[in-house]
Amino acid sequence: MSGAKDPIITATAPFDNPDGDIILRSANGVDFHVFKLILSLMSPVFKDMFTLPQNCVSSVPVIPLTESSTTLESLLLLCYPAATPTFDSLDNAKAVMEAAKKYDMQAVLNRAGDLVMSQFLPTHFLDMYALSCRFGWRHHAQTAATRSLEIKNLGRPSTEFENMHDITALDYHRLLIYHHACGVAAQAAGKSLSWLNPTCLSRDAAMWSPSKPKRQDSFFHEIECSCKAHAGSMLQVANFGEMKIASWFSAYLDSSRKELWERPSVSTIQESAAYNSAVSSASKCTTCCHTVTESMNKFRAAYIAQVKKVVAAVKLVTS
pLDDT digits (tens, 9 = 90+) for 103-144: 999 999 999 999 999 999 999 999 999 999 999 899 999 999
Which helix (H) or strand (E) segment holds residue 108: the answer is helix 106-120
Count Cβ atoms below 10 Å from residue 96 Cβ, excluding itself.
27
Residue 243 counted as domain residue: no
Domain count, the chain: 1
User: What is the CATH number for 53?
Assistant: 3.30.710.10
For the stretch 38-78, pLDDT in tens is: 999 999 999 998 887 666 556 788 899 999 999 999 999 99
pLDDT given for residue 16 in this prediction: 92
Q: How confident is the model at residue 251 (pLDDT cuts 50, 70, 90)?
A: very high
Distance CA 70, CA 183 (A): 42
Q: What range defines the domain where residue 47 resides?
A: 1-97
In a domain, residue 69? The reply is yes
pLDDT at 289: 87
User: Is the residue at 41 inside a domain?
Assistant: yes
Q: Is residue 22 part of a domain?
A: yes
**47 within some domain:** yes
Could you report the per-residue pLDDT of 177-193, keeping only the tens digit for each? Answer: 999 999 999 999 999 99
**Greater pLDDT, 177 or 212:** 177
Structure confidence by residue, pLDDT tens digits, 194-206: 999 999 898 888 8
* Max intra-chain CA distance, the chain: 111
> Nearest 5 degrees, angle CA 179-CA 249-CA 300?
55
What confidence tier does 318 reach under pLDDT thresholds 50, 70, 90?
confident
- Residue 212 in this model has a pLDDT that exceeds 70: no
Over 60: is that where the pLDDT of 222 sits?
no
Average pLDDT for residues 274-303, to the nearest whole number?
92
CA dist list (Å): 205 to 39, 194, 231, 269, 293: 66, 15, 16, 20, 11
The secondary structure element, H or E, covering residue 236 is: strand 234-237
How large is the angle between the packed helices 106-120 and 90-102, nearest 10 degrees? 170
pLDDT at position 1: 43
- Choice between 187 and 156, residue whose per-residue pLDDT is larger: 187
Query: Which long-range CB contacts under 8 A does 58-62 form with residues at least 24 apart?
Result: 60/20, 60/21, 60/22, 60/23, 60/33, 61/21, 61/22, 61/23, 62/23, 62/24, 62/25, 62/31
Residues 92, 98, 104, CA angle at the centre, nearest 5°?
Answer: 140
pTM of the model: 0.75
In a domain, 306, yes or no: no
Per-residue model confidence (pLDDT) at position 27: 93
- Specify if 171 maps to a domain: no
Q: Which residues contact 136 (CB under 8 A, 6 or more apart)?
A: none
- The secondary element (H helix, E strand) that includes residue 23 is strand 22-25
Residue 271 falls within a domain, yes or no?
Answer: no
